[in-house]
Structure 1
Amino acid sequence: MGKINLWTLYTSLQGRISKRTFLLWVFLPIAVTRFLASTIDTALYGVPSSLSELWPGVAGTVKRLHDLEINAKHVGGMYGAWAVAIALFLFNRTGSNVVTPGLMAAMVTAVLAIIYTLYVFIPCCFKPGIEGPNSYGPDPLEE
């Protein structure tokens, strides 16, 4: 494994990264940031940390999917599902304990977004990459 260029890792959507690089340089920093944000940024509802980790998370996930020879459109689908779920929650808040049909749709969409996120992230974290070069670039373990 060669030297890691963090700028390229966090900004480019091209190429592939290994499972180890994904876990150490993409997943772990985002998990730590989320943990710290839960205590530090509560007044701002976690928005600053969420925005700061959005693009590195997208870039790292895209490259990891490329290593698995999976189209990165799944990342767009995952974020799209979350955007729909959040929008439904925001537009269907009533301030009462009554579950309206719109709120039920928001909950169902959120559950589907969680399932889709797990569908994308479990292979990224546990499945070994395709050996040798693939259509997205050379094997990151051979460099």
Structure 2
Amino acid sequence: MTAKQWLFSFQGRISRQRFWMWNLFYYLVMLGVVGVAAQNMFASYTGVVIFIVSAALLWPDLAVTAKRWHDRNKSNWWLLMHIPLLIGRIMTPTAGMEAAQPIWQTGMSVLALVCGIWMLVECGLLKGSQGDNRYGPEPQ
């Protein structure tokens, strides 16, 4: 599988190793962006910079995760679990805001946590289906 297929195609299957390689890259980029934006002249625009970088990485993130769901013999519909995660990231309180939040925000945060843990276990820890499945051959 080429890098283009790995990062931009929603077809096929990938191993846990490739899934973790992508996630390591993703979170290192995000930590770097936050660190650079917060320490430099962009400090007041940190939220905007994080949004732009997150938006740029969204398609590859979904493509990699879709192929991991495929390896578990599950459809792309499982990508809908990203919605609470995205909403949870948008709703994250920033410095200077009140600690108390409305009950619906707390509920959404809990839902995002549950979805994140579920995706971590399913895509990151559990082995894919053995042999060929409806999404393609078993990844090497």
| TM-score under structure 1 length normalisation | 0.78
Partner of 2:60: 56
User: What is the Cα deviation at residue 40 of structure 1?
Assistant: 1.9
Partner of 1:82: 85
**What does residue range 1-143 of structure 1 map to in structure 2 within 5 Å?**
4-24=1-21, 26-42=22-38, 43-45=45-47, 46-76=50-80, 78-85=81-88, 89=91, 97=98, 99=100, 103-141=102-140
Question: What is the CA–CA distance in structure 1 between the aligned matches of 2:98 and 2:103, rounded to whole Å?
Answer: 12
Runs of 4+ in 1 over 3 A off after TM superposition: 82-87, 95-100
Question: What is the CA–CA distance in structure 1 between the aligned matches of 2:55 and 2:31, rounded to whole Å?
Answer: 15
User: What is the Cα deviation at residue 127 of structure 1?
Assistant: 1.1
Unpaired runs of 5+ in structure 1? Answer: none
Which has the higher mean CA deviation after the structures are superposed, 54-63 or 107-116? 107-116
User: What is the Cα deviation at residue 68 of structure 1?
Assistant: 0.7
Question: What is the CA–CA distance in structure 2 between the aligned matches of 1:97 and 1:19, rounded to whole Å?
Answer: 39
Question: What is the CA–CA distance in structure 1 between the aligned matches of 2:29 and 2:108, rounded to whole Å?
Answer: 26
Contact 1:74 1:120 in 2 (8 A): no
Superposition RMSD on alpha carbons, in Å?
Answer: 2.2
Aligned length: 129
Kindly provide the CA deviation profile for residues 81-123 of structure 1, in whole angstroms up to 9, marking residues without a partner as x: 2355567x49xxxx874846xx221121111111112101222
Unpaired runs of 5+ in structure 2? Answer: 39-44
Q: 1:13 to 1:98 in 2, by over 3 A?
A: closer
Percent identity over the alignment is 24
